[in-house]
Each structure stands twice: as C-alpha cells, then as structure tokens.
Structure 1
C-alpha cells in the first residue's frame, strides 16, 4: 500500500483537549545553536486523564525576534510524523525566517512521537511502505503492538493539547500558528480547542478540518482538476493532448491488469518492476504535486504506457519508491499510524473488535453512491485511511474536538492549483469559514505552497500580511522547476532526423531528448521525499546530481544512444533561470548513434557526429 497517499491527505476528526490554563512562568531556555537559537524541554503527561502513567519530553526550539517582538508564532510541520524542529531548522534558516515573519519570535517543537520528543519506531512498517495491502495491514497491527498501551495517546487532540502546554511554558497568552498540510488540521484543531489563545493563523495546503471520509472521496473527485493544472497553457502538448483523460484511463486499466516490466539499475543490468493502479495513483501520480521531476515526466510516460511502452512509467514508479522511503527521524511511520488510526473516522467504532471490521468496511464501500470516486473505479478508495487502519488494535472511544465556532481572528490561507493531496477547494472552504479569512491562490504550484512557489509571491504575501498590509488574492503563475518533456520515442528509427538528416540527424534528436529528460531526472533527485544522488537512465547509465549541476555517464533515454558529460544550470542575466535549462558538453556513443562530441547550449546543440559538423535545437 502506498503510504504517501495518506501522509498529507489526512483531514481527520480531532478530539477535545484539556481545559484552558492561565499563563505560567516561562520555562528556562538555553542557547543551543547559531543566530540566537534557544532550546528547552517541556514535559507533558502521556495521558492527561491520569489513568495511564508516564510523561513525554517535548523538544522545543525558539528563534527570538530582533528587538521588541510583535508576537509568538508556532511553525507546525506536516505528516503527521514530521518533527517540526527538525523540519524548520530555525537557527540555520534564521535570516530568511526573520525576513518572512517580521517581528515574530518563532517556535518549532517536535510533536510527541517524533524527532527528539520520544520518537516512535515501527521498523518494518518504516522500511516496507510498498508492500501489498494485506502485508501493510499486518505491519500496522504489529506497529500497534510495538508501541504498546501508549498508542492511545497520539491523537490530534493530544498534539493540540501539547501546543497549549508549550504556550503556557513560554508564558504567553496568545500565539499565532502556521501549519502546512496536516499542520493545518492541527492548527485549526488548536483554534477550536483553545480559541481564546489564538492570535492569527497561516494555513498552507489545507487539510479539511471537518474531517475526511475513510475512502478519500473528495480527493479522488478533485484530483482531475489538479492534474489538469499541470498542463495549463499547453505545457504538455509535446507529450499528449489529453493528459487527464489518458491518466484516468491508464490508472483504471492498471487496477484491472497490473503492469510489469524491466527497468535499468544504477549498478547495471535490469530489474523487474510491477505496478497496480493503486501503486500508480497513490504513488507517482500523487507525488507529482511535490516532485518536480515526476511532474515533468508523467504526461509523456502515461502517453507511452497507453501505447504499450510501459518502461518509462515503471521507471517513474520505481524512482518514486526509491525516493519516498524516509527515516523515522524525518517522518515517523509509528507516529503517523498512531495518529491517523486514532483520529478516524472509520466505518467502525474505535473499540470494534478486529473480526467485525472487514464486514463493516465492505458494507460502507458497497454503499457508496455511483460517481463517489470521481473518474476512478472503486479500487481507488484504498487511498483513504480506512483500509490502512483496518487492523489497528481496538481502543477506548474518546471525545472529539467540536465543530466550532472558529475564533474570529485573522487567517491567511494558501492554495496551490496543482495540489493533489489537499485540493485547492479545501483552502477556499476554510478561508470562507473564518470571518477574517483571506485566500491566496498560486497557479503552477502543487503541495506546500510556501516551500515551492518560485515567484516569491506567497512568501511576500505572508510578510505583507503580518505587517498589516493586504496580500494579493492571486499570485502570478509559478514556473516549473523543469517543463514537461516531450513524448518518449518508440525507437531510434522513429526519431525525425531534421535538416541534418540520416543517422546523424536522429542522433542529434536523441541527444536533445536525453538532455531534456536528464534535466527532469535532476529535478527528481532534488525534490523527492528523500534526495538521491544517482539515478539510472531509462536504458542504462547514470545521472549524478550535485546542486545546480549534474554528471552523466553512459546515460540513455533512447535505446542505442548514450551520452556522458557534465552539465550546469544556465543562468541568464535578464530573467529567471526557471524552467531550468542546462549547458555543457557531452560525448555521444551507442549501438545506434553517430559517435562524437557536442556542446550543449541553452537552446542549441553543436559539434561533430560521425566525423561531420552538426547543429540543431537542444
């Protein structure tokens, strides 16, 4: 089962927290890093009812505002399972953070069960997120056993109560909160539970705080709109004229008939990769709203797969799997599971015996009205949390966080039009629910707007808003890190030779396609959940990325043509370097190619192939 389909799709019901308490004396902080960073430990009860003994030590980091602070702002990471202190690294990023949040003292703490706050570990689940559903359900059950009785105390309610415990430890009455993805759900849960202690909210990539059905129906219905945004303005026309239609057709076909085939390995040779419709939709498709390389290659790979050439698609599936396995320190699958499976809601009550749940799950699924899953088949309901949590150990029913009213405070909400995990409709709905809600829509951006908007408009909007100004309601379209690539050729022989003609002309065309695809692989290596230095080419060889450059060794996108060399990011003086283009030089060889050397310019290729000078578009 594909777990990233859940990690930031969660918008689940939370629970009521502990009663409000008056500000306490400030906890003692001590210097712990660069740029004035201070750290402290705040001890909180494991179980606030007192029935289960134990405490959790929360690791808290503070970046004081220069001068007299305007307020205190908590930065809440996503997941659940991400450690906020580790994610935001306040000390290292102090200059940028102080500019983006002028006048605010910034707080980032690792939620219970993450990072340095009693990290929960479920090693097998952490290491095997791509197993078949039945295997993952068994690992979820084992994870619950490994955590033990404390597993009942990692709900969104518990996390909201911990935020208030840190607030009291700081000795402040009101706090601002910025949440991303699941962090938006937690921020709103805090606002519902402790409304009198909220100064303002910044919500980026909004998970529906009203709760999400167990089968991810809204996400499935909204997904085509987000996918269509990738290709707006004709960006995909070199690959396909109907990206969304082709993707839906392919996903449903793969659900009925999984595909398998060979992909190249970094070490040489090939491996067999198998993918179902759920592997595809819950993995490579969903991750394309964050991974720029996936977004660039997906339209062409889908188009090829529908015509029987599945190798490009299976390569993306395998690369996505490779870059999506994280360490527990980066994202604890133990905490993710404990929170998701505690929060619900599911077609069963929390205390329902395991033996009764499959029937309840099947009954709820069969009762779904026609069209509930958008253009996808009923198989796609496995993207929701219910199948994942089917075998989570039963636990006592706990009160949930109420549905409002929400506090009348300033709220700034960001929506990326390409967001597939937390659809832009969520952001519009939550902005409308707050009397002082403001929505900023960012075209060209997927999930995590503030981290992926290359125009800087979203980040500037935060600074303007915090300083009392009026932010824009819509940003300019953010350029992609790399543009979608053109169609994968069926073979070397099908390439158009252009003016050069013959084998040399086809080789020139193959090199141009390979350089553009290599740029997408460079983006893939930098924007996956886990960064990787080396990636295998479609037909062998490797690309090794390093910052704004990469090295190719026998890299092949067209069978029979290999290129080797170093390329660096082209930086025009008069405009943005995005979408990225690369310049340098390459050596060309291979069983089909005219051998030689080429200079790679921003828009041209030139050099010698087969002993003759050649020139053509890059």
Structure 2
C-alpha cells in the first residue's frame, strides 16, 4: 500500500528516552566526507520560495538515451543552518509511490530540527508526481466511478465491467502521459536520484526513504553501490517480490492491525463501536456486508478509510469516531479519511497520487492477470486476509491488466555489493510496510544493518520512538551503526 501524503503531518517530539537493546553501536566508515561548502559546479539554480528554496532539474526521459527527450523534476532545499559544520546534502523521499516530497523535509520535524543543522535538506517530487512532469489519467469523475464500483465482483457482468473499466483507465493514461508511461518504474527513479546527486555537487548520495522510498534507496544501492553515502530505509517495501506477494503480506499485516485496533478499543469502557474486540470486528463486518452505502460513502471508500486509520495508533481514535458516525448514518468523516489515501481531500480536490501510484506499480511489475487469475488469487489471499485481501487483489492487480510494457521493470534480487553500510529500520507491527519486507531486504543488501522496532505503525523515524530516532541520527550524523540484532522497544 502507499505511504500517505498526510502520514507525517502531526509528528511530535517524543519526551521519554528509550534505549537500543543491544551491546553498543558499531562505527561505520565515514561515508559522507566533511565537505564544508558545496561544490559550485552544480546545475541547479535555487531561488527563494517561502520557508525554503526551489529549483527544477532536467533529466533524461530514458536514461539509456541521455541525449534524448528530457523531463523536469521539481526540488526544494533548506540549507544547513550551520554552514561551517555542513556534512552535505540529505535527500528525502516520502514513499507512495506517488507522494509529493517537496515539503517532506520540513514536515518531518525530527529531521528538520536535528539533521538540518548540518545537512542541506532536499525534497523533490519524483518523475510523474506533483510538479515533476506529472502523469494524470484519472478525472474526478473517474475516481468517483472507482469509489462506487464493487471491490469484489462476483458475477460475470460485474467482472466484465471491472475489466472494461481497467482498459479505459489504461487507455486514458497512455493518451495523457504519452512517452512517459513506460519510464516510470523504480529503476528509472533511482537513476533520477543519481542525476540529483550529481547536480547537487555531491560525490555520494546520502538519503532517507520511507516506505516505497526505502525500496527506491535499495534499488539505488544496487545500481550505484559506489555512489552510496549513507542511506536510511525506513519501513521499506521489497521491490524483489511479485505484486501478488506484496499484496498478500500487506493485507495480512492490515488484518493484524485491525485486530489490534479492535482489541484496544474493546478493552476500554468508552469504546464507541463495541464492548469487546470481537464485537468491534463483528459490527465492522456487518457494516461492510450490509450497511453500505451511507450517503456518498461506498464500500471501496470505507475500506480505504480503515486502511488510513490503521496506519498509526494515534489515528485510532479518529477511526473509532468515524466508524461510530457511519454506523449511525453519517459517512462524511470516513469519506474524508478515504480521500487522504486517494491523494487529496474533499475540500482541496485530488492530487495525482493515485495516477502516479498506479503508473509506477504497473511499470515495476511484468505480471498481467486475467479473470481466472484474479479469481484464483482472491480465493488464495482470503485465507489470511478475508476482509481486505480479495478486494485488494481485484483493485490492484486489475489496474495493470492493459498497461503498456515497461521499459525497465524490477530485475530480481538485489545485492548492492561494494556499498558502504546501509541502515534499514523495520517495525514488527507495521500494518502496511510489513516487517518481513525489511528483514528480507536486509538479507539481500550485502552491507545492510537491520534495526528492529517493536512498533505498530507505518514509519519509524521522526518522534515515534526515541530509540529509533537516536539510532538514525547517529548513523546520519556520525556514521555509527547500531549493533547487530539491535532492537528498540
């Protein structure tokens, strides 16, 4: 699943101090030179824009043809507040794929407050996203139709309609995006990152990637191991799995997250949606089966709202109240929550988050599924994820059924041989990024060190756990890795 544009909008500093439950830290070889002032041979012309600086950078549409057609990337910079101790540039990617990253270094307040003293904090919109040659195929009407569609088609007519809609979207995307569409895969994004590194005047890339952003950093390390500085992969996806396996693991994590949410609410005397965890789940199941639509709130929108609400425990009260109101006939709070995951809000309209998310995923994966495939996989995933699995199979795998061939899809397992130490942070209770992604990726990348957090939200760094924050800061500022097997509680 995507990481949300609004996931980091209310991060707070943590007051209690936690400890890394391991024997000390291992010092990594300094991967980022003490560069002082940046080199002047940069091709980026920065200009003031509000609390930051802004610029654009042209990169090849097809990196195999560097002299060919160009596309434009939008970037932001917050210069290091202590230039005399400047370490270099720190590039951020918030994930998605499809999330805008222009403001990410600013809203990730831990990074702004702690790392911004010594790093230039660089945000950017990846290709196809936001202000970077955006791909737009879905109108508001298309989104409305998608939100009204049956997420688990049962009859031949419903399945025919679903495939017809997928064909229509693919055709619209191809027409709107033109030559860009086959070049939106993660490997092309990684090559863009190297162009950004060069334009910033940095010998090595130092970067922080959340969720899909972590997958992107892993791909970069595999393609450019000699250009790696310090890379943090926070709750990364795993770009080496099949698309179905990604969905299977994600939805199993979501089911577990829903169970934790239900048990936590049901254990309280003031829970507005059930007296016990089981009652919370039973009432939710009845609502999905027979209680929808509620006004404009459809079943797909309700499912999206729950996914959004489960991302972090401090969002659970909002989900409780939204469900309670929906059960009483007011679907507006859940509709607004679903709009965030769709990449916008009811008031401000929608970004191109869904367009870009779909485009990157369809460019990354070569599998194209037919009706029998989807029926079989929906039944298979229902074993571990009966509430969310079948709908995710139909809604996600069907998206790519008529997509054009990718110019550079995922290429199997990663290695990154020769890269300096890389830090991966995984959360055991992550409802979306899934801890298995992080642990498997740590086994693939030859220089990776895994830090485990026993947390239950998506994304670890940035005011959620002082132990994690201290470890990430120490790595980025000093090159110090947590010891093998380190765990944060």
Give the TM-score, by structure 2 length: 0.72
Match of residue 131 from structure 1: 148
Is 1:162 the counterpart of 2:200? The answer is no
Alignment partners' CA distance in 2, 1:160 and 1:339: 12
Match of residue 457 from structure 2: 446
2:430 to 411, 419, 426: 419
Match of residue 258 from structure 2: 227
Match of residue 133 from structure 2: 118
Match of residue 259 from structure 1: 291
1:387 to 392, 398, 416: 398
Match of residue 84 from structure 1: 101
Residues 230 and 247 of structure 1: is their aligned pair in 2 closer, same or farther, counting only changes over 3 Å? closer
**Contact 1:358 1:390 (C-alpha < 8 Å) held by counterparts:** no
Q: RMSD of aligned C-alpha atoms?
A: 4.0
Is 1:206 the counterpart of 2:206? The answer is no
The structure with more helix, counted as a fraction of residues: 2
Structure possessing the higher relative contact order (Cα contacts under 8 Å, 6 or more residues apart): 2
Residues 152 and 52 of structure 1: is their aligned pair in 2 closer, same or farther, counting only changes over 3 Å? farther
The structure with more strand, counted as a fraction of residues: 1
Q: Which moved more, 1:96-105 or 1:198-207?
A: 96-105
Match of residue 249 from structure 2: 218
Alignment partners' CA distance in 2, 1:106 and 1:369: 41
**Residue aligned with 2:89, SS:** strand
Alignment partners' CA distance in 2, 1:50 and 1:94: 39
Is 1:26 the counterpart of 2:57? The answer is no
Match of residue 475 from structure 2: 465
Superimposed CA distance per residue, residues 139-174 of structure 1 (whole angstroms, 9 cap, x where no aligned partner): 354233222233111111211111111112223221
**Contact 1:187 1:201 (C-alpha < 8 Å) held by counterparts:** yes
Match of residue 285 from structure 1: 306
Residues 398 and 421 of structure 1: is their aligned pair in 2 closer, same or farther, counting only changes over 3 Å? same
How does 1:238-257 map onto structure 2 within 5 Å?
A: 238=269, 239=271, 240=274, 242-243=276-277, 245-246=278-279, 249=282, 257=289
Measured after TM superposition, the shift of residue 286 of structure 1 is 1.0
Give the TM-score, by structure 1 length: 0.59
**Contact 1:124 1:139 (C-alpha < 8 Å) held by counterparts:** no
Measured after TM superposition, the shift of residue 429 of structure 1 is 3.3
Measured after TM superposition, the shift of residue 180 of structure 1 is 0.9
**Contact 2:208 2:233 (C-alpha < 8 Å) held by counterparts:** yes
Match of residue 547 from structure 1: none
**Contact 2:148 2:298 (C-alpha < 8 Å) held by counterparts:** no
**Contact 1:261 1:311 (C-alpha < 8 Å) held by counterparts:** no
Alignment partners' CA distance in 2, 1:47 and 1:177: 23
Residues 75 and 226 of structure 1: is their aligned pair in 2 closer, same or farther, counting only changes over 3 Å? same
**Residue aligned with 1:29, SS:** coil
Superimposed CA distance per residue, residues 186-207 of structure 1 (whole angstroms, 9 cap, x where no aligned partner): 1111111111111222122221
Match of residue 12 from structure 2: none
Residues 180 and 189 of structure 1: is their aligned pair in 2 closer, same or farther, counting only changes over 3 Å? same
Measured after TM superposition, the shift of residue 114 of structure 1 is 2.0
Superimposed CA distance per residue, residues 20-70 of structure 1 (whole angstroms, 9 cap, x where no aligned partner): xxx9943243342467x5444321111234499521022233334322433
**Contact 1:156 1:189 (C-alpha < 8 Å) held by counterparts:** yes
Match of residue 549 from structure 1: none
Match of residue 18 from structure 1: none
Alignment partners' CA distance in 2, 1:409 and 1:400: 23
Superimposed CA distance per residue, residues 84-134 of structure 1 (whole angstroms, 9 cap, x where no aligned partner): 2243349xx899625235533332222112233222223515753523153
**Contact 1:192 1:403 (C-alpha < 8 Å) held by counterparts:** no
Match of residue 528 from structure 1: none
Match of residue 356 from structure 2: 335
Match of residue 204 from structure 2: 174
Determine which structure has more spread, i.e. the larger CA radius of gyration.
1
Match of residue 358 from structure 1: 371
Q: How many positions carry a matched residue from both structures? A: 426
Measured after TM superposition, the shift of residue 177 of structure 1 is 1.7
Alignment partners' CA distance in 2, 1:312 and 1:42: 49
